[in-house]
Amino acid sequence: MKLHRTLYPKLLLAYLLFFLLSFILISSFNSRMILNDLTRTRAESLYRESRLVATTYGKEIYNGGAVREDALLQLAAIDTFISAEIRVIDTGGRQILDSRSSVETVFSDFDPAAIGSYYMVGDFYGTYRDDYLSVFYPITAGYRVRGYVVIQMPMSDIYASRDRLLNISYLTMLFMYLLSLLVLVVFTFVVYIPIRRITTAAEEYARGHYEYDPSVRGRDEIGYLAETLYYMASEIGRSEDNQKKFIANVSHDFRSPLTSIRGYLTAMLDGTIPPELHEKYLKVVLNETDRLTKLTNGLLELNSLNTRGIVLTISDFDINQVIRQICETFDVLCREKKISIELILTGESLFVSGDMGKIQQVVANLVDNAIKFSHSNSIIRIETTEKSDKVFVSVKDSGIGIPDDAQKLVFDRFYKTDLSRGKDKKGTGLGLAITKEIIQAHNQNINVISTEGVGSEFIFTLAKAKEQEEE
Ligand code: ATP
Ligand code: MG
């Protein structure tokens, strides 16, 4: 799968969209709200003024004459004080007073009752070129509305206030935008680039380049992810290497006996080996097939031990007894090589808990090795000892020994030391690998102590049987 759509452009797009939307929101919704609010507040304060005018001068104004002149002066004073034009208009639309002009005017459509509010915004019946805010207050006399006090001021003031407030909003928004841009930059370096690197690394791993280092450092989740991935890849790479080595070993170990079998058989068929010698060479061929069988069985066994959850049939059994039995089976071999086995066993019987069949196999493998790699006329010592809840079993020979650097390798599949190759042509190198798997399945340990040319000692542990512990 290839990465076609990356996250980044989407993020940028979302970011731009966010910016655009917030701009639209401020310029339309915010602007209207601010304007409405400012207008209403101003209208309210003008309304109070107009009520004052209406209640103070209302009656006198309709009386005419000198009183009206007096009121006009007062209105002019108020006008300069609050800087708003003040008119008095009667219900018919005829203007009675105007703080700023003495021209007789009639507003033919004048009908504040029809507006449905105490103020309006507009050109006031074509009087002004710009928008004005006009606030009305009725003058009543004799329980009848006679006219209205109208106070007016230009909206430009309010518009200016609104623009000031809007500018503050825009500035705040811009600031937030820059701040989030900073977040985006940080995100880019902290999240986006590392994730890109990890993706590239994963692609490399998919191609089989397990040594590729994503080079993402850091102790956060992403750094940890990269590290884990890198570790996983190197492990896969290693196990793949092991797999290759394993296959190479298997093929090699199968090929050499097959080649020799084929060689002998061809030689017999074409008469290179005369018929009277056939028996001798058929025995060799039989030996080789034995080795192949052993190899196949060993591999099958290792495989079954390797598959997770190997089933151990745990029971309590006498390890001393097992050792004695195994030694008996090697009797003939020992006699041939003039090797004697010395048993130093703790107690008459020593009960341990484990899979008896598998432990028998372990002991047999170790004794087999000890005999194979011992010189004739030597002694093999098998010892059992107790230590707290464990039983130690040691198989010690004074044979060819194992070189230091080979000691940790003898438990590997197919491993055979150079020393042993000449001595034992039949060995598969699987015996100790199987032994170790069995011991590990028991959650126990096996170790080797050896000196080249002096001898080797293999020691493994077993769990003591429960009843015996309590005794
Ligand atoms: P197989 O057990 O299948 O017959 P093997 O004995 O060669 O083959 P392992 O039992 O796994 O294989 O042993 C691996 C190698 O470790 C041997 O080939 C030998 O080189 C070395 N080794 C094991 N036991 C001893 C020992 N007691 N003394 C010296 N070398 C040993
Ligand atoms: Mg062996």
Phi-psi region of 406 (alpha: psi -120 to 50; beta: other; left: phi over 0): alpha
Placement of tokens 């080595």 in the chain: 245
Class of 311-470 in CATH: alpha beta
> In angstroms, rounded to a whole number, what is the distance separating the alpha carbons of residues 244 and 79?
102
Contact 391, 354 (CB under 8 A): no
> In angstroms, rounded to a whole number, what is the distance separating the alpha carbons of residues 148 and 49?
13
Contact 332, 369 (CB under 8 A): no
Ligand number, closest to the Cα atom of 454: 1
pLDDT exceeds cutoff 70 at 310: no
As a whole number, the mean pLDDT across the chain is 89
pLDDT exceeds cutoff 90 at 109: no
Give long-range contacts, CB 8 A cutoff, 24+ apart: 292-299: 292/254, 292/257, 292/258, 294/426, 294/428, 295/253, 295/254, 295/257, 295/428, 295/430, 298/428, 298/430, 298/431, 298/434, 299/250, 299/430
Tell me how far CA of residue 96 lies from CA of 27, 57, 83, 290, in angstroms.
Answer: 42, 13, 20, 134
Cβ of 378 below 6 Å from ligand 1: no
> In angstroms, rounded to a whole number, what is the distance separating the alpha carbons of residues 304 and 438?
11
Cβ of 427 below 6 Å from ligand 1: yes
Q: Which residues does residue 390 pair with via DSSP β-bridges, in sequence order? A: 387, 463
Q: Mean per-residue pLDDT for 245-270?
A: 86
Cβ of 254 below 6 Å from ligand 1: no
The more confidently predicted of residues 1 and 90 is: 90
pLDDT exceeds cutoff 80 at 68: no
pLDDT category at 309 given cuts 50, 70, 90 is low
Which CATH number is associated with domain 27-160?
A: 3.30.450.20
Q: Mean per-residue pLDDT for 108-128?
A: 90
**Domain 221-307 sits in CATH 3.40.190.10:** no
Q: What percent of the chain has pLDDT over 70?
A: 96
pLDDT exceeds cutoff 60 at 431: yes
Atom of ligand 1 nearest to the CA of 400: 29
Q: Ligand 1 centroid vs 371 CA: distance in angstroms?
A: 10
> In angstroms, rounded to a whole number, what is the distance separating the alpha carbons of residues 40 and 289?
108
Q: Ligand 2 centroid vs 41 CA: distance in angstroms?
A: 102
* pLDDT for res 11: 81
Residue nearest to atom 15 of ligand 1 (CA): 416
Atom of ligand 1 nearest to the CA of 417: 20
Q: CB under 8 Å to 240, separation ≥6 — which residues?
A: 210
> Phi/psi of residue 442, each to 5°?
-85, 5
Q: Mean per-residue pLDDT for 189-216?
A: 91
* pLDDT for res 71: 83
Q: What percent of the chain has pLDDT over 90?
A: 58
Tokens describing residue 50: 């107009």
The 3-state DSSP class for residue 349 equals: coil
Residue nearest to atom 12 of ligand 1 (CA): 429
Phi-psi region of 3 (alpha: psi -120 to 50; beta: other; left: phi over 0): beta
Where are the chain's structural domains? 27-160, 221-307, 311-470
Cβ of 417 below 6 Å from ligand 1: yes
* pLDDT for res 269: 93
pLDDT category at 306 given cuts 50, 70, 90 is low
Q: CB under 8 Å to 275, separation ≥6 — which residues?
A: none
- Decide: residue 276, CB within 10 A, 0-12 exposed, 13-18 middle, 19+ buried: exposed
Query: Can you point out the beta strands (E) in 81-187?
Result: 85-90, 95-98, 119-122, 132-141, 144-154
pLDDT exceeds cutoff 90 at 9: no
* pLDDT for res 137: 95
pLDDT exceeds cutoff 80 at 308: no
Atom of ligand 1 nearest to the CA of 410: 16
Note if the pTM is more than 0.85. Answer: no
Ligand number, closest to the Cα atom of 371: 1
pLDDT exceeds cutoff 70 at 4: no
Atom of ligand 1 nearest to the CA of 434: 11
Ligand number, closest to the Cα atom of 299: 1
Q: Ligand 1 centroid vs 419 CA: distance in angstroms?
A: 10
pLDDT exceeds cutoff 60 at 52: yes
pLDDT exceeds cutoff 90 at 130: yes
* pLDDT for res 7: 74
Cβ of 431 below 6 Å from ligand 1: yes
Query: Can you point out the beta strands (E) in 75-141?
Result: 85-90, 95-98, 119-122, 132-141
* pLDDT for res 421: 73
Tell me how far CA of residue 38 lies from CA of 132, 235, 289, in angstroms.
Answer: 14, 71, 105
Convert the pLDDT of each residue in 365-383 to its tens digit: 999 999 999 999 999 999 9
Strongest mean pLDDT among 76-85, 219-228, 446-455: 446-455
* pLDDT for res 343: 96
Ligand number, closest to the Cα atom of 436: 1
pLDDT exceeds cutoff 90 at 322: yes
* pLDDT for res 349: 93
Ligand number, closest to the Cα atom of 424: 1
The more confidently predicted of residues 396 and 62 is: 396
Helices (H), 26-141: 31-63, 66-82, 112-115
Cβ of 395 below 6 Å from ligand 1: no
Mutate which of 294, 333, 337, 372 for ligand 1 pocket (most atoms within 8 A of beta carbon): 372
Contact 393, 384 (CB under 8 A): yes
Q: Ligand 1 centroid vs 320 CA: distance in angstroms?
A: 24
* pLDDT for res 58: 81
Q: Mean per-residue pLDDT for 53-70?
A: 78
Convert the pLDDT of each residue in 264-293 to its tens digit: 999 999 999 999 999 999 998 998 898 889
Tell me how far CA of residue 286 lies from CA of 145, 149, 278, 297, 440, in angstroms.
Answer: 135, 131, 12, 16, 34
Which residues are within 5 Å of ligand 2 (an ion), measured at CB?
369, 431
Cβ of 399 below 6 Å from ligand 1: yes
Listed residue (354, 362, 356) closest to 431, CA to CA: 362
Tokens describing residue 313: 């049939």
Cβ of 364 below 6 Å from ligand 1: no
pLDDT category at 218 given cuts 50, 70, 90 is confident
Convert the pLDDT of each residue in 433-471 to its tens digit: 989 989 998 999 999 999 999 999 999 999 999 875 555
Cβ of 423 below 6 Å from ligand 1: no
pLDDT exceeds cutoff 60 at 223: yes
